[in-house]
Amino acid sequence: MTAPSSPVTSRQTGPHPRLAETVLKHAAHPWRKPVAQHSLQEFGALSPLVESWKGPLILDTGCGTGMSTAVLARKHPDSLVLGLDKSVARLDRQAGPFPDNARLLRFDLEDFWLLAAAAGWKFSRQCFYYPNPWPKPEHRLRRWAFHPVLPTALACGGVWELRTNWEIYAQEFAQAFGLLTGVTTKLEPWNPAEPETLFEKKYQLSGHALWRWEGTVPEINGTATTPTR
Ligand SMILES: C[S@@+](CC[C@H](N)C(=O)[O-])C[C@H]1O[C@@H](n2cnc3c(N)ncnc32)[C@H](O)[C@@H]1O
């Protein structure tokens, strides 16, 4: 993990011109993918803990080895922090000791958000730390900004935070969030004194410029919402 990594390169020189069209299509047509049986089982096993939890809930999406999950749990001791990743190999590399108010779980985020939104779960924060950038324009549908699950994830609410080493990824994410919520946000350069995720550490050691973005999902009558278009 300490080997230097190359900065992201792409044929894209700015946000993809078809971003708005894709996001608005997803806003108009809620995603109805069938949820996998194993996700239903994992969600069922997690539900008693979440539903009996009295404090805030935080979601660390694509948490990898869970370094950031542990950092978040220590920063927010009154919160239950769920670190979710689809890679068992990454989750198995979790470094201990791990705070009592954090859990690392194997989940496909797409299934998790569909189930969490249907169950009415609300998060105080949803963290997107260094998601895979998929920099080839033809792979853009794999980026979260272009993903049909994004409106469902928004229904789970919270303050959203993205960190990335590709500025265009953050610009697209901010643009998608703005289209879905009507909220205008800004990116900032990010250079933490102590890295909080394994990829943050690797990119800092490699001298990459890092970016941070934050946006709050608006609530109407206590319910996170997306504007109708
Ligand atoms: C580049 S790594 C970043 C890991 C960690 N957030 C960090 O900063 O060190 C992206 C992670 O997202 C996970 N991931 C990607 N797509 C996912 C999905 N659909 N559901 C769950 N995890 C996913 C990958 O398995 C990987 O561990």
Nearest Cα residue to atom 16 of ligand 1: 62
CB-based contact 95:165 (threshold 8 Å) = no
More confident residue, 95 or 12: 12
Model-level pTM? Answer: 0.96
Residue ranges making up the domain that contains 88: 19-224
Q: What is the mean pLDDT of residues 72-82?
A: 98
Residue 10 lies in a domain: no
pLDDT band for position 189 (cuts 50, 70, 90): very high
Domain assignment present for 119: yes
In this structure, what CATH number is given to the domain that contains residue 170?
3.40.50.150
Percent of the chain with pLDDT over 90: 89
The answer to whether 187 and 167 have CB atoms below 8 angstroms apart is yes
The CB-based long-range contact list for 24-31 (8 Å cut-off, 24+ gap) reads 24/179, 24/229, 26/147, 26/148, 26/150, 26/151, 27/151, 27/179, 27/180, 27/226, 27/227, 27/229, 28/229, 29/148, 30/151, 30/152, 31/114, 31/148, 31/149, 31/151, 31/152
The residue whose CB lies within 8 Å of the most ligand 1 atoms, and thus the one to mutate among 130, 149, 204, 205, is 130
Domain count, the chain: 1
